[in-house]
Amino acid sequence: MKLSGKIVILTGASQGIGKAAAYKFAQAGCKVALVARSAKMLTEIVKDIGENHALAIPADVSQKEDCKKIVEKTIEHYGKVDVLINNAGVGLYQPMESVLLSDINTVMNVNFIGVIQLSQAVIPKMRTHGGGLIINVASIIGKRGFPNMGIYCASKAALERMTESWRVEQEKDNIRFSMCYPGITQTNFQKNTLGIPPTDQFNQLAGVSAERVAWQIVQTARRESRDAYVTLFDKMFILGTKHVPHLFDMIFRRYS
Ligand SMILES: NC(=O)c1ccc[n+]([C@@H]2O[C@H](COP(=O)([O-])OP(=O)(O)OC[C@H]3O[C@@H](n4cnc5c(N)ncnc54)[C@H](OP(=O)(O)O)[C@@H]3O)[C@@H](O)[C@H]2O)c1
């Protein structure tokens, strides 16, 4: 897709990967509608990018009414939606025996149900304009469970299965779907993660910058890749976990 002039809704845009992506899509000539709950952080980013190219929409993607509002405000302001990037997400670090139902609900409501609700609100509008692209941001650990993060991994795995189904259902209306699978990324994600503080070993895992992942998301929009990975290590991780799962059980033991 040629990005210049395209209207992009980007969730989770107040910090981390989403914030970095907001700047990169604007640099690529897109007009962005930036979604997160923190109005103040979004307003700063809009000021920085410029009000002609960015719009702040404070909203909670886990709320159905908010999802409708996100689409209405974008259409009201820009007239259409070409691309939706479902990037908002929350982690949960907790051994399965003690995981709280309220935390499970939060994770599933943001990472999975939120994507459903916002996509359901946007698809009819995309269809009216001849189609559109939806990019869902998952994780390499949606491909392989990581100790103490089972619920988060499950939310991303669910997102992947759903995207595969929707891709085929929606192709007749030219609604296209891509998935992006970041690995560990240097953001406040771990700080914002629900549950108990992760182990020191886990915290020491090095990651790529948010800008690197954001660049990959922009490339995913350009190329409309079916599945996009950020680093060669991430690809090898997925291959390895598929072909030598026992080896990864052994490696992961030190993080449990
Ligand atoms: N960082 C990593 O290592 C990593 C690895 C793989 C995949 N990912 C995925 O990449 C995506 C972005 O993660 P990140 O690292 O940038 O995390 P982050 O720095 O914690 O940012 C999360 C973003 O999601 C927003 N958000 C959370 N709950 C929301 C809600 N209910 N409604 C609307 N927005 C909400 C937050 O804004 P507010 O708090 O203002 O609402 C924030 O902008 C997530 O889907 C995450 O699962 C991250």
| All domains in the chain, ordered by first residue | 7-253 (3.40.50.720)
Nearest atom (ligand 1) to Cα of 141: 6
Q: pLDDT tens digit string along 111-151?
A: 999 999 999 999 999 999 999 999 999 999 999 999 999 99
Q: pLDDT tens digit string along 146-159?
A: 999 999 999 999 99
The stretch 71-80 carries a mean pLDDT of 98
Query: Catalytic residue at 152?
Result: yes
| 131 alpha carbon – ligand 1 mean position (Å) | 26
Which residue, judged by its Cα, is nearest atom 19 of ligand 1?
Answer: 16
Q: What is the pLDDT of residue 206?
A: 82
Q: List beta partners, residue 92.
A: 194
| 138 alpha carbon – ligand 1 mean position (Å) | 11
| 192 alpha carbon – ligand 1 mean position (Å) | 8
Which residue, judged by its Cα, is nearest atom 1 of ligand 1?
Answer: 185
User: Would you say the pTM of this structure is higher than 0.85?
Assistant: yes
Segment among 1-5, 109-113, 199-203 with least mean pLDDT:
199-203
Q: What is the pLDDT of residue 232?
A: 96
